[in-house]
Amino acid sequence: MKNILIIGATGQIGSELTMKLRGIYGGGNVVAGYIKGTEPKGELAESGPSALVDITDPVQIADAVKKHNIDTIYNLAALLSAVAEARPQLAFKIGVGGVYNVLEVARENGCAVFTPSSIGSFGEETPHNPTPQDTIQRPKTIYGVTKVTGELLSDYYARRFGVDTRSVRFPGLISYVTPPGGGTTDYAVDIYYAAVQGRTFKCPIKAGTFMDMMYMPDALRAAIEIMEADPSRLKHRNSFNIASMSFDPEIIYNKIKEYKPEFVMEYEPDPLRQAIADSWPDRLDDSCARAEWDWKPEYDLDAMTRDMLEKLELKFAPKLELH
């Protein structure tokens, strides 16, 4: 990777991945692709170039790739699972049409491509604990349909055209930087904000519903390590199960209470999110990622909780007014 384009650079993953890649490959070599209304700001705007890249417009993608001599594309554009159910046509346009646009531009310009998949690519018929690397993928959500399609198209472009496509299936991602929006796993982010802001947390997911989760620093490292991996060792490409922790609302609530004993959570289940969560794995088996490119997570629930609480306390600390 020398010249990188991030599509969706101002989103939940992109805002942090862009900064991390700029730290490794140099600010000038990582282009932050954004859509109208989400222009990069602050550090993200100042630390390197940016370009208007709407994934539904293949000409915009091709123009940015040619102008900046791009060799690697990180395609992070997506509507998350619950919001995608409200706008399935747009979810398809971004998650299937967009992936096709990126793969075509990559084929024509010799770029490698990372398009994340998700625990959402699995469904009710999938074995849930553990979920093997190669198993049934019959999701019922449009989000899942786009993710499975992205996996298949990416493997097709690798086999048929030699495009260097690689991917991981992300669990629910937890971070204190850019909030997610419209996901099923978002409760595990929102719960920390409520704890730090002293609010009672209304949990949309029922006790006993286990899902894979991951702290953002591990997720960013996975996205970079898979693209740097020795291709001769890869038996799989699109997409690798990765995992670091699995919990239900009770477990994360009790963990936060260890540090904030006054914190209160109540249940207020959301039927859409609950149905989606019930269809997703409890715990992914990530042994292929461990064997083929030495994947290893660093954060468990306790380490993540300590860091999240500390960083959010700083974020919400009253600012000192200097006169």
Which residues form the interface with ligand SER (CB under 6 A)? 80-81, 118-120, 143, 170, 172, 183-185
Smallest gap from residue 213 Cβ to ligand SER (A):
9
Per-residue tokens: 158:
């690798």
Smallest gap from residue 194 Cβ to ligand SER (A):
18
Smallest gap from residue 284 Cβ to ligand SER (A):
12
From the candidates 34, 143, 176, 187, give the one annotated as an active-site residue: 143
Q: Which is nearer to ligand SER, 133 or 184 (CB)?
A: 184
In this structure, the number of other CB atoms found within 10 A of the CB of residue 224 comes to 18
Give the SS3 label for residue 170: strand
**Cα–Cα nearest to 51, from 121, 4, 110:** 4
Go through the chain and tell me how many residues it has.
Answer: 323
Q: Which is nearer to ligand SER, 101 or 146 (CB)?
A: 146
**Cα–Cα nearest to 9, from 75, 56, 63:** 75
Q: Which is nearer to ligand SER, 143 or 176 (CB)?
A: 143
| Residue in the structure block whose two tokens are 């049934």 | 136
Q: How far apart are CA 119 and CA 106, in angstroms?
A: 25
Q: Which is nearer to ligand SER, 31 or 80 (CB)?
A: 80
Contact by Cβ (8 Å): 10, 32: yes
Q: Name the CA dihedral angle for 185, 80, 40, 224, rounded to a multiple of 10 degrees.
A: 70
Closest residue to ligand SER using C-beta atoms? 183
Give the SS3 label for residue 34: strand
Smallest gap from residue 139 Cβ to ligand SER (A):
11
Give the SS3 label for residue 173: strand
Smallest gap from residue 143 Cβ to ligand SER (A):
6
In this structure, the number of other CB atoms found within 10 A of the CB of residue 143 comes to 26
Does 143 qualify as catalytic in the annotation?
yes
Smallest gap from residue 241 Cβ to ligand SER (A):
13
Q: Which is nearer to ligand SER, 45 or 272 (CB)?
A: 272
- Kindly list the distances between the CA atom of residue 7 and the CA atoms of 169, 179, 209, in Å, as whole numbers in the listed order: 18, 18, 32
Q: Which is nearer to ligand SER, 21 or 168 (CB)?
A: 168
- Kindly list the distances between the CA atom of residue 172 and the CA atoms of 90, 96, 264, in Å, as whole numbers in the listed order: 22, 21, 22
Residues marked as catalytic: 143
